[in-house]
Amino acid sequence: MAIDLRSDTVTQPTEAMFEAMRRAPLGDDGREGDPTVLALEALAAERTGKEAGLFVSSGTMGNLVALLAHTGRGGEVVTEAGSHILRSEMGGIAGIAGLFHRAVAGERGAMDVETVRGAISASLMPNRLAAALICMETTHNDAGGAVLPLAHMKAIHALGRAHGIPVHTDGARLFNAAVKLGVGAAEIAAHSDTITFCISKGLSAPVGSVLAGPRAFIAKARAYRRMIGGNLRQGGVIAAAGIVALETMVERLADDHATARRLAEGLHRIDPALVDLARVETNIVQVETRRFGQPAAVLVADLRQRGVLAGVWSNWVMRMVTHRMRRGISCHSGAGVPNGNVPRPARVTRSCGRHENPVPAGRSPALLIIASRRARCARSRRAPNSRTRESSFSGSPANTSNWRSATSGRRPCLRLTARQTRSARTDPCRPGATEMKIHLNR
């Protein structure tokens, strides 16, 4: 099985979710309402501190419905230049909502308040559209999972209110932001009139997002959801998983953040130019590939051949997103495996000819990413007759002048080994595993 770090959207439902989906009471969401969908919407409203919620099939649909319900088509939307609404939602803001956008450059996804103040016009002018909506995003996807400070959100919201302009927040990873800040989701949502969040990312439900806001607004949004083809029938089948997600999966998002941090720190030890640790706040790691003279697409393609899936974010940036895998995921530097969750101990190694030798402490920093099934008992070891497949990839940095001086003139290279092990036995205490090792050969 590949290590899939393309996005946290690849998460699989838990057994509790499958059971809830099987037992969910159903109705017609487009008529009198589906009881399980209504329960999810009520729970989402409670968690965000809003009056009502609306279940939609995706975050993109939630944002589009919010744009329509806030503006009724026409006007200008002020949003950060790298926002998901502009970058990844296929121009729905213009093509469907009939809105124009005013992009404001931000720092780590946060728009400068005074720049926003100068960008808005509360009324239609002969040479300027009226601002119909202000949008924020937290965590900010393009900024590598950055979390907007609450003080910043409060200032933007106050600015909108002062000019009679509603504020919407794209909170696809709202609960990641809440975990990072150590607050409830409602404390973030309080600084926005409406907010969307996904249940299908780190929360692990199979499908869906929720738009939350005032009751009158949600009633209007429900009509727009139907207009764009988002009406649900027996939606409780998928809403049931969302209820389980909100009740059981929020706190464990901290594990994803810790995994991303370990991944980033390991890559940073290999070369500080690969990852800016200050930019790793939640579960997204952006890797700068220019150091190796290879566009991100080339490195991503090579990793795919070795059983590691990552994403191309831009020409020179590769993205890795940590999340809950059905087989579990942890990563660390150095020897040993935390929590006994893998079938066999891992070792940091370096390549020397045709052999793999242990690396002395403090030498040749390495990162091991271990993905495995959770051990079901304390006895967790590799079966004697297991089958192993191993492959490797090597790539040299484009600029190695500093490294050469530290390695006696030899040209170092970054080497990745993806190792897949599958036990031939059925003993649940001997699970299979996939491990990825990235280290610097000296």
Question: Are 389 and 302 found together in one domain?
Answer: yes
- Displacement of CA 29 from its chain's centroid (Å): 29
Question: Are 233 and 262 found together in one domain?
Answer: no
Instruction: Establish if 345 belongs to a structural domain.
Output: yes
Q: Are 84 and 63 in contact (CB under 8 A)?
A: yes
Question: Are 310 and 324 found together in one domain?
Answer: yes
Question: Are 159 and 280 found together in one domain?
Answer: no
Question: Are 283 and 188 found together in one domain?
Answer: no
Query: pLDDT of 344-375, one tens digit each?
Result: 323 323 333 333 333 333 332 334 443 333 33
Instruction: Establish if 2 belongs to a structural domain.
Output: no
Q: Which of 151, 74, 149 is nearest to 109 (CA)?
A: 149
Domain final position from 203, 232, 248:
248
Question: Are 147 and 38 found together in one domain?
Answer: yes
Tens of pLDDT along the chain (442 residues) come to 688 999 999 999 999 999 999 999 999 988 888 999 999 999 999 999 999 999 999 999 999 999 999 997 778 999 999 999 999 999 999 999 989 999 999 999 999 999 999 988 877 666 678 899 999 999 999 999 999 999 999 999 999 999 999 999 999 999 999 999 999 999 999 999 999 999 999 999 999 999 999 999 999 999 999 999 998 899 999 999 999 999 999 999 999 999 999 999 999 998 899 999 999 999 999 999 988 788 999 989 988 998 889 999 999 999 999 998 754 444 444 333 333 333 332 332 333 333 333 333 333 233 444 333 333 333 334 444 444 333 333 343 434 333 333 333 443 344 444 444 443 333 333 334 344 455 443 3
Domain final position from 195, 223, 248:
248
Query: pLDDT of 121-162, one tens digit each?
Result: 877 666 678 899 999 999 999 999 999 999 999 999 999 999
Instruction: Establish if 5 belongs to a structural domain.
Output: no
Please provide the size of the chain in residues.
Answer: 442
Question: Are 178 and 226 found together in one domain?
Answer: yes
Q: Given this model, what pLDDT does residue 126 score? A: 67
Domain final position from 227, 248, 269:
248
> Residue 155 belongs to what domain range?
12-248
Instruction: Establish if 40 belongs to a structural domain.
Output: yes
Q: What CA–CA distance (Å, rounded) separates 191 from 196?
A: 13
DSSP label at 161? H
Q: Are 285 and 320 in contact (CB under 8 A)?
A: yes
Question: Are 198 and 297 found together in one domain?
Answer: no
- Strands of 264-399 (E only): list them: 284-288, 308-309, 311-314, 317-321, 330-332, 349-352, 355-358, 366-372, 387-395
Instruction: Establish if 46 belongs to a structural domain.
Output: yes
Question: Are 64 and 145 found together in one domain?
Answer: yes
Q: Given this model, what pLDDT does residue 208 score? A: 96
Q: Are 45 and 68 in contact (CB under 8 A)?
A: no
Question: Are 211 and 265 found together in one domain?
Answer: no
Instruction: Establish if 346 belongs to a structural domain.
Output: yes
Q: Which of 27, 47, 50, 49 is nearest to 38 (CA)?
A: 27
Domain of 376, CATH number, reads 3.90.1150.10
DSSP label at 378? S
Number of domains in the chain: 2
Instruction: Establish if 350 belongs to a structural domain.
Output: yes
Question: Are 412 and 272 found together in one domain?
Answer: yes
Instruction: Establish if 296 belongs to a structural domain.
Output: yes
Give percent of the chain above pLDDT 90: 62
Q: What CA–CA distance (Å, rounded) separates 88 from 70?
A: 20
